[in-house]
Structure formats: C-alpha cells, structure tokens
Amino acid sequence: MGEAKTLPAAGGGEAVGFGDAVLTIKGLVVKYNTFRGELTALGGVDLNVRRSRIIAIVGESGCGKSTLGLSIIRLLPVPPARVAGGEIHFAGKNLVELPESQMTRLRGTGLSMIFQEPLSSLDPVYTVGDQLAETIRVRDERVGKPSYGPFRVAPAPEESHRTASRLLGARLPRPRASRKYPDEAIKALREVQISDPELVAAKYPHELSGGMAQRVMIATALLEKPSILIADEPTSALDVTTQAQVLELMRELRDEIGASVLFITHDLAVAAQIADEVVVMYAGEIVEHAEAGQLFSNPMHPYTEGLLQSFPRKFKDEEKLKAIPGDVPDLRFPPSGCKFHPRCTYAFDRCRVELPLAKEVSPGHRVACFLRQ
Ligand code: SF4
C-alpha cells in the first residue's frame, strides 16, 4: 500500500475571488466520436471569468485547452464533437442551448476568437481593408447603426492584385485606381502598431508576414470590441520581438475596452508574462486555478509542480530540468480515479480509485488533489 508524500504547504497570496463573472461555465462535458470509440475531451469543467482579466489556460497538448475555447464560442466540429452536459452562461444566456442565429450575433460583438495560424482566418481573396470594413459593417448592423465613413484613400494595389490572382489561380475583382476603407479600419491598424496602415489595408493576406497577419486579427478584435477574447496559441508562430508586441496588445485590449482574455498556451513563460490568473488543465479537467503570482510561487497540484520543474527558469548548471514521466493518457481509455495518478510521484491507493474534486485551498486558489483535501 502506497503512502501519501507531501507537497509544500499552502500559503498566502492574493485572492482570485469568483464573484463578478462575465462568463460562467458549469460542469461542461464534451465528447468526440472517433473511429476507435468515444472519448471525453472535457470531463466536467467549471470556470468563472471575471471582467478585465487575462486568464492563461495551460497544459500539455491534448489536455482540452483548445476544446474549451472552441466550446465557448461554439465552433466545435459537430459531429464528431458534441456537448454532452453542462452550461455556459454569458450575457444572461446559456450558450449551450442558444439557437445558432443568436449565437452568430454574439460572435464578434460579445465573443471573439483568434487562432495560432492567422492566415487561415483571413479570406485570401479580399484585401485587409475590405475585411476590416466588413467587420465594421456587420458590427454596426447588429446594433441597427448605419455604417461606414469617413473614408481614407489607399494606394491602388495593382501588383498585389496580380500576384493574388496568380497564386490562387482565380480571377479576382480588379481593384479600382484607388481603394477606400473606413477611417476606423485604418485607425485600428495603427493601434496595433502597423506603421503604414493605408498601404497594409490595400494588401492581400498572402502579402503579410505571420506577425503582421496576427496584428490584423487583433485589429479585427479591437473593432469588434468583444467582452471575451479567446486567443488560442496566438504567439507560438511568432518571433520573440513580435510575440512581446502581441502580448502588449492583449493587455491594451484588457485595459482599454475592459475585455477578458482567455489566453490558451502551452508556454509557461508566455503565461507568466501576461496572465492575471492561470488555469491548469490535465486530461480534460481543470486541476488548479489561482492568481498567476500565487500559482507560480506556490503550485499546489503535482501536475503544476511537474510543469514548472520542466520549464527552464534559471541558468545554473546544478538546476537540472525534470520531465514529467509518461504521457498524457489516451482519453478513450482514461485511467481510473485521478487521471494523473499513473504519472504522479505522490500517488497513493485512494488516487487509483477515486476522482478528486476541485476544492478551494486558500481564497481563490482551487486544486483537485487528495493531498490538499
Ligand atoms: Fe497525485 Fe492525483 Fe493523488 Fe493528487 S490525487 S496525489 S495528483 S494522483
């Protein structure tokens, strides 16, 4: 019979608090049908998101981070995915039950999402300016406001048009001698530190670098003014300088329009730079949630502890990095009891048969581990 070892004691830190939530998720269960059987991608997730907070969602690949983001904005591939239980409350509505027509209205104005690969989210046959203008038109139409103007004149993208037509093997609408884009679109491009916004507005997506395309996606989010922005690994394809600029833009989104950002990342260094709170996911469950400072200085769950030990923080020879043994489980055949037990150095008998529920161990610090209960 295994004995329970002990982790460092729980301690201090600022409280997270769970009142004042703009988004509340209760017992969310998402399943996928695969050729080799059904798997539970989210196994009963509970989460409160407060206004003007950046919440980093961390964990290894396959832990359910992206599934959680896609579930909130209802962009899961259905089928094979399906929401098998739970509720997502936002703007007085349960998004799980909302008709698609109402959900479409919420996307953009209330909820927005940006992805790791921004070029796949931009339409290759329209210029950046056209796409931003369309965002403004749709946004204003939703609130019954006549849109557009005043306009800016951008240079004619004759060469861009030829290249786009050749690359896509299609005849694109020929640009006029000059293109007009709403002033607001040009302003949004300037706000994301694009120094020549008129010129960029006239470009097609294939002419943008990865960093520039991600900035255009953030400009779109600025125009939509969402209450919640879900950013799925938005900086992983970017160099460190561009990454720092994109993180700064996220902070501005929080501070200037009061948006809450769900920042999905596997990179703890990025989470440490940007997050107000950190949510740690493992095998489709939230195993720890706390204020960022509290979680990084005093991790309470053995999985969080393992993630931090495998993350290079100090450059000393004696500081050896420790990998977490084993792999994330195949969610078609999850382990019994605590899903982390096959990899946990603290596991004891109870862990193998019983699932630990998340409990508040100090104000605002929730942990799902028997060592803390
Ligand atoms: Fe490890 Fe899970 Fe047991 Fe906690 S409950 S000691 S994480 S196996």
Q: For residue range 230-267, what is the model confidence (pLDDT) as tens digits?
A: 998 877 767 777 778 778 888 887 888 788 999 999 88
Could you check whether the bond before residue 150 is cis, i.e. omega within 30 degrees of 0? Answer: yes
Least confident range of 159-173, 234-248, 267-281: 159-173
How confident is the prediction for the chain on average, in pLDDT?
81
- Give the pLDDT band (50/70/90) at residue 340: very high
In angstroms, what is the span from residue 198 Cα to ligand 1's centroid? Answer: 55
All domains of the chain, ordered by start, with CATH? 1-12+19-110+226-322+359-373 (3.40.50.300), 118-225 (no CATH)
CA distance from start to end of the chain: 20
Site of tokens 């909302």: 98
For a pocket test of ligand 1, which of 286, 303, 341, 357 has the largest count of ligand atoms closer than 8 A to its C-beta? 341
Closest of 216, 191, 186, 188 to residue 124, by C-alpha: 216
- Dist CA 132 CA 217 (whole Å): 9
pLDDT at 237: 67
- Closest residue by Cα to atom 8, ligand 1, is 341
Q: Assess whether the C-beta atom of 346 lies below 6 angstroms from ligand 1.
A: yes
Task: State whether the beta carbon of 7 lies less than 6 angstroms from ligand 1.
Answer: no
Tokens of 281: 């996911």
- Ligand 1 atom with minimal separation from the 352 CA: 8
**Which long-range contacts (C-beta less than 8 Å, at least 24 apart) are formed by 136-144?**
136/182, 136/184, 136/185, 136/223, 138/108, 139/108, 139/109, 139/223, 139/224, 139/225, 142/105, 142/108, 142/109, 143/109
The number of CA neighbours under 13 Å toward the Cβ of 137 is 8
pLDDT of 356: 93
The model carries a pTM of: 0.80
282 in contact with ligand 1, CB cutoff 6 A: no
- From ligand 1's centre to the CA of 372, what distance in Å? 9
358 or 118, higher pLDDT: 358
The reply to whether ligand 1 has any atom less than 6 angstroms from the CB of 367 is: no
Q: Tell whether the model's pLDDT for residue 159 goes beyond 80.
A: no
Ligand 1 centroid to 327 CA: how many Å? 16
Question: What digits encode the pLDDT tens for the residues 103-113?
Answer: 887 877 788 88
